Structure formats: C-alpha cells, structure tokens
Amino acid sequence: MANIASAKKRARQAENNRAHNAALRSRLRTYIKKVILAVDSGDLAKAQEAFRQAVPIIDSSVNKGLIHRNKAARSKSRLNARVKALALQAAS
C-alpha cells in the first residue's frame, strides 16, 4: 500500500476509475449482445431498433477512451452486416 498522501489519493482515483470503466464496458457489451440476440431471434424490427440504440453507445465508448475507434468501427460494421443479412433473408 502507498505511504505518501498523493499516492494514496491516486490509488483511490484508480479504483474509482476502474469501477466506472467496468460499468461502461458492461453497458457496451450489453447493447452489442441485444443486437445479436435480436438478429438470432429473427425479429428484423427489433434488430434494427437494437442496432440504432447500440451505435451511439459504441461511439461514446470511443470518446471516453474505453475502446479504440477501429474496434468500434469493426463492431458496428459486423452488427450492421448481421442486421442487413437478416433483412435480406426476410425479404426473400
């Protein structure tokens, strides 16, 4: 454990930041999972709505420094591909 006051404070801040980041990461994963579950259930409207809700969450995770922008772009691209595939399947 730290002995210096500033190091103790830094340890407290690091723990608070870790807990906050964990909550944000959990929220991100939850929204991504909602899209995947909606696609797997075959409900196009639900999948599109879940995707619309997930995109701002993914983008805000980048702005908060939680994930890299390329990971965000990759996630959005893959989710969008799943939703579009479901739409094509529903159309045919």
Q: What is the DSSP string of 68-88?
A: -HHHHHHHHHHHHHHHHHHHH
Average pLDDT of the residues in 34-51: 97
Q: Tell me the residue length of the chain.
A: 92
d(CA 74, CA 67): 11
CATH assignment of the domain containing 61: 1.20.58.110
Average pLDDT of the residues in 44-59: 98
Q: Is residue 31 pLDDT above 90, yes or no?
A: yes
Predicted confidence at residue 37, as pLDDT, reads 98
Predicted confidence at residue 47, as pLDDT, reads 97
Q: What is the mean pLDDT of the chain?
A: 96
In which domain, by residue range, is 63 found? 5-91
Sign, CA dihedral 52-56-62-64, equals negative
Looking at the structure of the chain, the number of domains it has is 1
pTM attached to this predicted model: 0.89
